[in-house]
Structure 1
């Protein structure tokens, strides 16, 4: 196997970077870092995630060895998710990114507004004639 090179189109590290770049995966990892949670607890904690998306992301995280799934024999069956040691290393690495996003939100939004104002499409001649 050749050395990992994320800049190479066929390097498998890109799949890992896809996972790290997925907002749902990051939010799930950060929640599970503190304590194991049941599926519905995760769904309630992460506003805007659908049941289907949560299920898909949890399966992917489990497949990657970042999250552990445990079925508890109750009626109905309770499923609990927890962090693996590997997942904890990733959660520790991405938490500063979450922190940066929260702390710099105002500045990013202001930059977006400035950009949008400068790059607003100019009105066509037809629309200017109509408006007059």
Structure 2
């Protein structure tokens, strides 16, 4: 399969390319949450970055804001399955990726590039 500029598969890659998009969606899997609660639950995300992420996800139709809380749309709920797939892959192969990174860093004689 080619990943041309107008390929729908690239849309999926764009949705997960931002580190926070899948995290925000997953954090909403059990129901709507207010901004501060969502930020606290995620951890390590600034208010500004969270606002940017939820605005983008809202623009893409994956979440909505009702009565001051963010929640998944039906479309957003369908994206939980691919996120779970990534999670399963990481559980199975994450140690191998970390080992490869450590070997590359050791070979280069430095930390991260």
* TM-score, length basis structure 2: 0.82
Between structure 1 and structure 2, the one with the greater Rg is 1
User: 1:56-88: per-residue Cα shift (whole Å, max 9, x none)?
Assistant: 1101111111001113xxxxxxx1011111111
Preserved CA contact (<8 Å) 2:25 2:76: yes
Cross-structure match for 1:126: none
Cross-structure match for 1:108: 97
Aligned-partner SS, 1:33? coil
How much does 1:91 deviate?
1.4
CA RMSD of aligned residues (A): 2.1
CA distance in 1, matches of 2:70, 2:93: 31
Aligned residue pairs total: 109
Change (3 A) 1:105 1:32: same
* TM-score, length basis structure 1: 0.71
Gaps of 5+ in 1: 72-78, 122-132
How much does 1:120 deviate?
2.9
Cross-structure match for 1:98: 87
Q: Once superposed, which parts of structure 1, at least 4 consecutive aligned residues long, lie more than 6 Å away?
A: none
